[in-house]
């Protein structure tokens, strides 16, 4: 595995108590592939990836487990090591480019700066590289637009510029956190196409974080569904779309507009809201929102926490039997 996260746990100490943001999460990603991490806000997706990037404040976040990247342990690595990796071998893009791009410098200068910092090249070499990157991400007239300020770019172009900045050092791993959420549907599809194209050219591994299963359905090879800081389902994208196993995954699929739904299943959205991460529900953390607990009885679903099983391949963390899951998937929502 290029990146292998094992039993990652992230707790935040707050005035209200300990926030269990991520609890025993494991996943891996190979070079040249995209892993979609899906869940509602507060499910621990971003917290997980900030841990990979070494961006948590050690005074408030207590992190344990293991994060192996290209043979190197990142958890507990010195700050200087992480600073060398970030923007260089591990890059990131976020939802809103305006928060990551400075309004005071040209787009080209900001891309060139990242290249200079990690490669120590001259200003003119870095500028040429910035132009080359703008061209690769599909900015028209890159030799002219390189001198534009971020506000002179449209939202879609700014996100392209962010991708150019993220990929300027040929990173092995790109973490994209809700990269298309702020964009309209057409531009969103273009940005996802661009990421796929660039991945084919470079072999970069991508972690795509999103609340929208539709986004990963189009883009990801593998998917990890997170709920309350835990993985509740994992598999290849075709496996999870063809045969989603966890009631929460059914709910995510049910929340998608029918037209975009990759599977034709009689699914309905999840009711209620995500749980408090200070008082995580006992047993299966999804039980307060699950319509199927009555099939097993509360003593089962509220008892022991279900683990992700099997250990490898397509797995989920729910006590329903495979035949119960198959039957429920095929049954109209009203009848359950």
Give which of Mg ion, ligand SF4, none residue 176 binds (C-beta under 5 to 8 Å, depending on kind): none
DSSP symbol at 280: P
Cβ-based nearer residue to ligand SF4, 25 or 320? 320
Cβ-based nearer residue to ligand SF4, 168 or 318? 318
Residue 5, strand partner residues: 27, 67
Q: Are 178 and 95 in contact (CB under 8 A)?
A: yes
- The 236-275 contact track toward ligand SF4, x by CB under 6 A, reads -----------x----------------------------
If one asks whether residue 38 binds ligand SF4 (CB under 6 A), the answer comes out as no
If one asks whether residue 192 binds ligand SF4 (CB under 6 A), the answer comes out as no
Place of tokens 């990142």: 74
End-to-end CA distance of the chain: 40
Question: What sign does the CA torsion over 121, 124, 128, 133 have?
Answer: positive
Which residues between 45 and 64 bind Mg ion (CB under 5 A)? 46
If one asks whether residue 127 binds ligand SF4 (CB under 6 A), the answer comes out as no
Q: How far is the CB of 282 from ligand SF4 (least distance, A)?
A: 11
Q: How far is the CB of 290 from ligand SF4 (least distance, A)?
A: 3
If one asks whether residue 180 binds Mg ion (CB under 5 A), the answer comes out as no
Q: Are 205 and 33 in contact (CB under 8 A)?
A: yes
If one asks whether residue 293 binds ligand SF4 (CB under 6 A), the answer comes out as yes
From candidates 3, 21, 164, 296, binder to ligand SF4 by CB under 6 A: 296
Single out the segment in contact with ligand SF4 by CB under 6 A; choices: 5-13, 45-53, 104-112, 289-297. 289-297
From candidates 92, 205, 265, 318, binder to ligand SF4 by CB under 6 A: 318
Nearest to 317 by CA among 325, 326, 306: 306
Give which of ligand SF4, Mg ion, none residue 149 binds (C-beta under 5 to 8 Å, depending on kind): none
Give which of ligand SF4, Mg ion, none residue 46 binds (C-beta under 5 to 8 Å, depending on kind): Mg ion
Using CA atoms, how far residue 90 sits from 7, 43, 87, 174, 231, in Å, is 21, 23, 6, 6, 23
Q: How far is the CB of 193 from Mg ion (least distance, A)?
A: 23
Give which of ligand SF4, Mg ion, none residue 250 binds (C-beta under 5 to 8 Å, depending on kind): none
Q: How far is the CB of 209 from Mg ion (least distance, A)?
A: 7
If one asks whether residue 319 binds ligand SF4 (CB under 6 A), the answer comes out as yes
Single out the segment in contact with ligand SF4 by CB under 6 A; choices: 140-148, 170-178, 266-274, 282-290. 282-290
DSSP symbol at 309: B
From candidates 45, 127, 145, 287, binder to ligand SF4 by CB under 6 A: 287
Q: Which residues contact 312 (CB under 8 A, 6 or more apart)?
A: none
Q: Are 225 and 251 in contact (CB under 8 A)?
A: no
Q: What are the DSSP calls for 134-161, one per residue?
A: HHHTT-SSHHHHTT--GGGS-HHHHHHH
Per the structure block, which two tokens stand in for 159? Answer: 């996100």
- Which pairs from 261-269 meet CB under 8 Å and 24+ separation? 261/214, 262/214, 262/217, 265/329, 265/330, 266/330, 266/331, 266/332, 266/333, 267/333, 268/333
If one asks whether residue 320 binds ligand SF4 (CB under 6 A), the answer comes out as yes
- Residues making contact with ligand SF4 (CB under 6 A): 247, 284, 286-287, 290, 292-293, 296, 301, 306, 318-320
- Residues making contact with Mg ion (CB under 5 A): 46
């Amino acid at each position: 595995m290029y990146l292998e996260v094992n039993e990652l746990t992230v707790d935040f100490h707050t005035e209200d108590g300990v926030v269990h943001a991520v609890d025993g999460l494991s996943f891996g990603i190979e070079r040249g592939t995209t892993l979609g991490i899906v869940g509602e806000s507060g499910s621990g997706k971003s917290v997980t990836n900030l841990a990979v990037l070494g961006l948590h404040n050690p005074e408030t976040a207590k992190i344990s487990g293991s994060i192996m990247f290209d043979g190197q342990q990142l958890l507990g690595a010195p700050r200087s090591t992480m600073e060398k990796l970030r923007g260089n071998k591990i890059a990131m893009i976020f939802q809103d480019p305006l928060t990551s791009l400075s309004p005071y410098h040209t787009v080209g200068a900001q891309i060139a700066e990242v290249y200079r910092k990690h490669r120590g090249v001259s200003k003119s070499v870095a500028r040429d590289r910035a132009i080359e990157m703008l061209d690769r991400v599909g900015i028209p007239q890159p030799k002219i637009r390189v001198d534009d300020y971020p506000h002179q770019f449209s939202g879609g172009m700014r996100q392209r510029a962010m991708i150019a900045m993220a990929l300027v050092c040929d990173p092995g791993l790109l973490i994209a956190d809700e990269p298309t959420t702020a964009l309209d549907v057409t531009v969103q599809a273009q940005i996802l196409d661009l990421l796929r194209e660039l991945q084919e050219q470079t072999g970069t591994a991508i972690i795509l974080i999103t609340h929208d299963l539709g986004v990963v359905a189009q883009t990801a090879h593998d998917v990890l569904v997170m709920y309350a800081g835990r993985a509740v389902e994992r598999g290849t994208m075709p496996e999870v779309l063809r045969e989603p196993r966890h009631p929460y995954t059914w709910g995510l699929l049910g929340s998608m507009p029918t037209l975009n739904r990759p599977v034709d299943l009689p699914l309905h959205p999840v009711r209620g809201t995500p749980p408090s991460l200070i008082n995580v529900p006992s047993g299966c953390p999804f039980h307060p929102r699950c319509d199927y607990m009555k099939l097993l009885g509360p003593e089962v679903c509220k008892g022991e926490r279900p683990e992700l099983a099997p250990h490898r391949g397509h797995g989920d963390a729910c006590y329903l039997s495979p035949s119960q899951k198959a039957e429920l998937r095929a049954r109209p929502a009203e009848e359950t």
